[in-house]
């Protein structure tokens, strides 16, 4: 089985939704992008279905598992420019974190 590398590629915050729906009294300094992640942060997945020990969000892991497994077990989404890769994200409607999933073939290790 191949390994997979996850890279954080985008950390948006949908300010229009935040302004309309988040309790301002609870978040007086704003809501902003998810603070658990940094752009470019990387994780290597080796033991399916175990989440890497340093992966900071169980919710995000649950959301992206399907795409990680697809790439890890040989899937190639036809819309992706590079074979063995996918873009996926967590389901946070206010500040979804986007990940690039890339298969690491044994020859690359």
pLDDT per residue, tens digit, the chain (109 aa), is 799 999 999 999 999 999 999 999 998 888 899 999 999 999 999 999 999 999 999 999 999 999 999 999 999 999 999 999 999 999 999 999 999 999 998 765 4
The structural domain count of the chain equals 1
Let me know how many helices (H) and strands (E) the chain has, helices first. 2, 4
Region class of 30: left (phi > 0), else alpha (psi between -120 and 50), else beta: left
Strands 42-45 and 3-10, bridge-based pairing: antiparallel
Enclosing domain of residue 39: 3-108
Residues 6+ apart with CB under 8 A from 52: 43, 44, 45
Q: Taking the model in full, what pTM does it have?
A: 0.92
HSE-CB of 92 using CA atoms within 13 angstroms: 23
Question: Look-up: residue for tokens 């206010």?
Answer: 94
Q: What is the pLDDT of residue 7?
A: 98
């Amino acid at each position: 089985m191949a390994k997979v590398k996850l890279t954080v590629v985008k950390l948006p915050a949908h300010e229009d939704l935040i302004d309309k729906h988040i309790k301002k009294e609870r978040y007086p300094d704003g809501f902003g992008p998810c603070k658990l992640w940094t752009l470019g942060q990387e994780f290597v997945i080796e033991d399916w279905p175990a989440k890497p020990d340093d992966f900071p969000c169980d919710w995000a892991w649950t959301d992206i598992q399907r795409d990680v497994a697809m790439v890890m077990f040989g899937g190639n989404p036809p819309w992706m420019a590079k074979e063995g890769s996918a873009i996926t994200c967590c389901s946070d409607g206010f500040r979804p974190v986007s990940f690039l999933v890339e298969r690491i073939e044994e020859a690359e290790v």
